[in-house]
Amino acid sequence: MMTTLDEPLPASIIFRPPPGTPLGTIMNEVRIWLDAQKIEPLDFCPVTDNAGTGFLIRFRDHFEANRFRQSF
């Protein structure tokens, strides 16, 4: 599940992996995908709140964020 935060550029996404997915596994998958796409996020930070554990990922623009959203 992902949420795009309504902000001007850069574009931010809160990415929450499916429940039960080991965070190390999903972080590796995301890193491999980012490297293959030649995308370097501005930030990649863990977040934990009432909705669960996930990652706040800030991209340079909405194009990169949308590519990520379509793949995950």
Beta carbons of 64 and 70 less than 8 angstroms apart: no
User: Between 19 and 5, whose confidence is greater?
Assistant: 19
Owning domain of residue 17: 2-71
Tell me: pLDDT of 30 over 60. Answer: yes
Burial class of residue 18 (count of CB atoms within 10 Å of its CB; 0-12, 13-18, 19+): exposed
Model confidence band, residue 14 (pLDDT cutoffs 50, 70, 90): very high
- What pLDDT was estimated at residue 31? 94
Tell me: pLDDT of 53 over 60. Answer: yes
When divided into structural domains, the chain yields a total of 1
